[in-house]
């Protein structure tokens, strides 16, 4: 496991775009159907846009028709951490990067039943994509 990455808000602001900062550091959400990876079908790996930590593999990505990139599982057991989120009058499970604690999105129990039943609903702005080498 990688060492935890802890930076000040000023350091994060230097590293991230304003949209990435709002999502990763302030638990924001991009508008549905606007993210650059929502329709991405390329083979590769999705990394944390804040720290480069591997989060999800393209094989786990599916079209949930939710408007955000959706995955059935993280890249490995230590890729993400999950926390109870009771903001906005709802009870949800927040998903954060296990290395830098950046907010990624939420996980819901409405994914494909044949693949475990989970839907990791992730903001595109929280991700970078590394295509598989051919």
Percentage of residues in the chain with pLDDT exceeding 70? Answer: 98
The per-residue pLDDT for 108 is 97
The per-residue pLDDT for 86 is 93
For the segment 82-117, what is each residue's pLDDT rounded down to a tens digit? 999 998 898 999 999 999 999 999 999 999 999 999
pTM equals 0.94
Q: From CA 20, how far away is CA 103, in angstroms rounded?
A: 10
Instruction: Pull the structure tokens for residue 34.
Output: 């606007």
Percentage of residues in the chain with pLDDT exceeding 90? Answer: 93
The per-residue pLDDT for 96 is 98
For the chain, give the mean pLDDT: 95
Number of helical H runs and strand E runs in the chain: 2, 9
103-108 β-sheet, strand order? 61-62, 70-71, 119-122, 103-108, 92-97, 80-85
Query: If pLDDT is split at 50, 70 and 90, which confidence band does 133 have?
Result: confident
Residues with catalytic function: 121
Query: If pLDDT is split at 50, 70 and 90, which confidence band does 14 have?
Result: very high
The per-residue pLDDT for 1 is 52
Query: If pLDDT is split at 50, 70 and 90, which confidence band does 2 have?
Result: low
């Amino acid at each position: 496991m990688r060492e935890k990455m802890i930076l000040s808000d000023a350091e994060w602001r230097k590293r991230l775009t304003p949209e990435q900062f709002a999502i990763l550091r302030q638990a924001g959400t991009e508008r549905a159907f606007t993210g650059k990876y929502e329709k991405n079908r390329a083979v590769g790996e999705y990394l944390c846009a804040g720290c480069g930590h591997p989060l999800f593999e393209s094989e786990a990505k599916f079209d949930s028709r939710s408007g955000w990139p959706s995955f059935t599982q993280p890249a490995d057991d230590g890729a993400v951490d999950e926390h109870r989120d009771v903001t906005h009058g709802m009870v949800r499970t927040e998903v954060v990067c296990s290395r830098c604690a950046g907010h990624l999105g939420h996980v819901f129990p409405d994914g494909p039943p044949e693949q475990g039943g989970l839907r990791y609903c992730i903001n595109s702005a929280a991700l970078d994509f590394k295509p598989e080498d051919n």
